[in-house]
């Protein structure tokens, strides 16, 4: 069954090529089509295109379909093109001609659009919530280990003293920036496109303000052509948010892989969170964090994937837009899985509290020792040369009782201020 069926069939090869993996992806989106269809049915009743009994029976049956989706009982058979055709078939099978009326004043185009907007709203809210949980964990770890020093690096060379407090809270504050992108994508998704039909509106007197309120959208995408042009754009905005979070997680995954190696030995995890080797019995591999790094690196390419699909498309609907779904939906699932596994794993992180006792880290303190000379009255350039000579001649004695007091330094992490920044995000 196809919503555009005119009574003749298309070649099976054409069917297979054009449907793609829509059926599988639509299982994640079906509940949102039910939400939109329920609002649409109520609106049709409000404007007099359905009588009260028809509206009530449609709403009741859609609720039953929604329950079957929640229970995992809803399937899209190969004989159906997508969720829309299956849901309309179920309504018609149960309600007869009343079920056939559900498609009045709408197109599959705005069905896909509104379902995707609702889906993205929900997923973006979940990503935000899950990111905040990871943020809270990182800040708690920063506070717990704020006094434990670690080497800071530039060019992967020993540079200056850092701390686990700085390291954990750096990633926490970076996630705030990422959520600004997520919020921007949410605002774009939080506009109701339903009623744009095929992209040029309808001669039926649909009440788009009613459906906007009924589905909980903050605003309406007023211009029907703009609404249609939003297909692909809302996914691309979401992709930018996803890629921003992914960049932060990927970098942290890389840090963890380095810090777990025997050459660093900064952190470790329980055996059950690592993997082994088929031939080397001593191995405790950071596979989880390598996969986070790899998956999140791949996610950073999603905006470009979408750009390549959408570039040079004119206004109006084009079948190319179907391909957007199969890029963005798996990307969302991958990102959420990475956030979840990092949160799960970092709860068990073990910190080495004696890292800087190794003499190879003495040079970390050269800057602080140099600054002491400056504070004693020696001009900076002269003190710098003096320190360089001492290091070159092997006479350098580090000053380890360092004092960093400015905002954001290892002696003044500003964790409360960072937390407030996160709390200020709606």
> What is the tens place of the pLDDT at every residue in 218-270?
999 999 999 999 999 999 999 999 999 999 999 999 999 999 999 999 999 98
Q: How far apart are CA 304 and CA 379, in angstroms?
A: 51
Decide if pLDDT at 1 tops 80.
Answer: no
Residue 125 Cα distances to 114, 138, 182, 273, 418, angstroms: 17, 20, 9, 28, 21
Q: How far apart are CA 220 and CA 207, in angstroms?
A: 11
Decide if pLDDT at 7 tops 80.
Answer: no
pLDDT of residue 174: 98
State mean pLDDT over 407-420.
96
Q: What percent of the chain has pLDDT over 90?
A: 78
Q: Which residue has the higher pLDDT, 335 or 366?
A: 335
Stated as kind and residue range, the H or E segment containing 279 is none
Q: What is the pLDDT of residues 354-398, one digit of tens each?
A: 999 999 999 999 888 888 889 899 999 999 999 899 889 988 888
Q: Are 179 and 128 in contact (CB under 8 A)?
A: yes
Full DSSP string of 382-414: HHHHHHHHHHHTT-----------STTBTTB--
pTM: 0.91
State mean pLDDT over 5-12.
51
3-class DSSP state for residue 75?
A: coil
Q: Are 238 and 186 in contact (CB under 8 A)?
A: no
Residue 311 Cα distances to 109, 320, 321, angstroms: 19, 10, 11
* CATH number of 12-104, picked from 1.10.275.10, 3.40.50.2000, 1.10.10.10, 3.30.499.10: 1.10.275.10
Nearest Cα neighbor of 84 from 36, 45, 39, 43 is: 36
Give catalytic residue positions. Answer: 155, 277
Q: DSSP secondary-structure letter at 249?
A: H
Name the β-bridge partners of 267. Answer: 351
Q: What is the pLDDT of residues 129-149, one digit of tens each?
A: 999 999 999 999 999 999 999
Distance of CA 256 to the CA centre of its chain: 21
Q: What percent of the chain has pLDDT over 70?
A: 93
Q: Can you name the CATH fold of 109-355?
A: Fumarase C; Chain A, domain 2 (1.20.200)
pLDDT of residue 17: 41
Start-to-end CA span in the chain (Å):
43
Q: What is the pLDDT of residues 166-194, one digit of tens each?
A: 999 999 999 999 999 999 999 999 999 99
Among 30-39, 68-77, 316-325, the range of highest mean pLDDT:
30-39
Angle at 178 between CA 172 and CA 180, to 5 degrees: 115
Q: What is the pLDDT of residues 88-101, one digit of tens each?
A: 999 999 999 999 99
With tokens 């009574």, the residue in question is 7
pLDDT bin (cut points 50, 70, 90) of residue 81 is confident
3-class DSSP state for residue 188?
A: helix
Q: What is the CA radius of gyration of the chain?
A: 28
Residue 355 Cα distances to 166, 360, 361, 399, angstroms: 15, 10, 9, 16
Residues in the chain: 426
Q: Are 185 and 117 in contact (CB under 8 A)?
A: no
pLDDT of residue 292: 96
Decide if pLDDT at 18 tops 60.
Answer: no
Q: How far apart are CA 285 and CA 257, in angstroms?
A: 9
Decide if pLDDT at 16 tops 60.
Answer: no
Stated as kind and residue range, the H or E segment containing 159 is strand 157-163
Q: How far apart are CA 414 and CA 423, in angstroms?
A: 14
pLDDT of residue 336: 96
pLDDT bin (cut points 50, 70, 90) of residue 121 is very high
Residue 198 Cα distances to 81, 112, 229, angstroms: 18, 11, 11
> What are the structural domain ranges in the chain?
12-104, 109-355, 359-424
- Low-confidence winner among 281-290, 304-313, 327-336 (lowest mean pLDDT): 281-290
For residue 395, give every residue at least 6 positions away whose Cβ sits within 8 Å of its Cβ, in sequence order, or none.
Answer: none
- CB count within 10 Å of CB 386 equals 13
Q: How far apart are CA 224 and CA 324, in angstroms?
A: 20
Q: How far apart are CA 63 and CA 69, in angstroms?
A: 10
């Amino acid at each position: 069954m196809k919503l555009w069926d005119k009574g003749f069939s298309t070649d099976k090869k054409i069917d297979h090529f054009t449907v793609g993996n829509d059926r599988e992806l639509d299982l994640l989106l079906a509940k949102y089509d039910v939400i939109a269809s329920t609002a649409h049915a109520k609106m049709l009743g409000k404007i007099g295109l359905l009588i009260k009994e028809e509206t009530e029976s449609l709403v009741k049956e859609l609720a039953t379909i929604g329950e079957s989706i929640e229970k995992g009982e809803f399937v899209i058979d190969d004989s159906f093109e997508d969720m829309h055709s299956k849901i309309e078939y179920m309504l018609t099978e149960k309600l007869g001609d009343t079920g056939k009326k559900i498609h009045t004043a709408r197109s599959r185009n705005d069905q896909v659009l509104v379902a995707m907007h609702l889906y993205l709203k929900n997923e973006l809210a979940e990503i935000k919530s899950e990111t905040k949980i990871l943020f809270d964990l990182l800040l708690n770890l920063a506070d717990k280990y704020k006094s434990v020093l670690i080497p800071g690096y530039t060019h992967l060379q020993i540079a200056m003293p850092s701390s686990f407090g700085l390291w954990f809270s750096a990633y926490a504050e970076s996630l705030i920036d990422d959520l600004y992108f997520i919020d921007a994508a949410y605002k774009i998704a939080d506009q109701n496109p339903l009623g744009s039909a095929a992209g040029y509106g309808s001669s039926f007197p649909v009440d788009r303000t009613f459906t906007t309120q009924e589905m909980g959208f903050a605003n309406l995408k007023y211009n029907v052509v703009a609404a249609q042009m939003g297909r692909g754009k809302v996914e691309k905005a979401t992709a930018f948010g996803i890629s921003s979070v992914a960049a932060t997680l990927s970098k942290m995954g890389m840090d963890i892989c380095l810090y777990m190696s025997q050459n660093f030995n900064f952190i470790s995890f329980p055996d059950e969170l690592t993997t082994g080797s088929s031939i080397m019995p001593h191995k405790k591999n950071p596979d989880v964090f390598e996969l986070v790094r790899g998956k999140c690196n791949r996610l950073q390419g999603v905006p470009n994937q979408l750009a390549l699909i959408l570039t040079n498309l004119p206004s109006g609907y084009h079948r190319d837009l179907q391909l957007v779904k199969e890029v963005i939906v798996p990307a969302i699932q991958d990102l959420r899985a990475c956030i979840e596994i990092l949160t799960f794993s970092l709860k068990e992180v073990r910190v080495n509290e004696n890292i800087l006792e190794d003499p190879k880290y003495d040079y970390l303190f050269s800057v602080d020792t140099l600054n002491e000379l400056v504070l004693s009255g020696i001009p900076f350039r002269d003190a710098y040369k003096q320190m360089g000579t001492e290091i070159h001649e092997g006479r350098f004695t580090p000053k380890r009782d360092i004092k960093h007091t400015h905002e954001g330094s290892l002696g003044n992490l500003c964790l409360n201020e960072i937390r407030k920044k996160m709390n200020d995000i709606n």
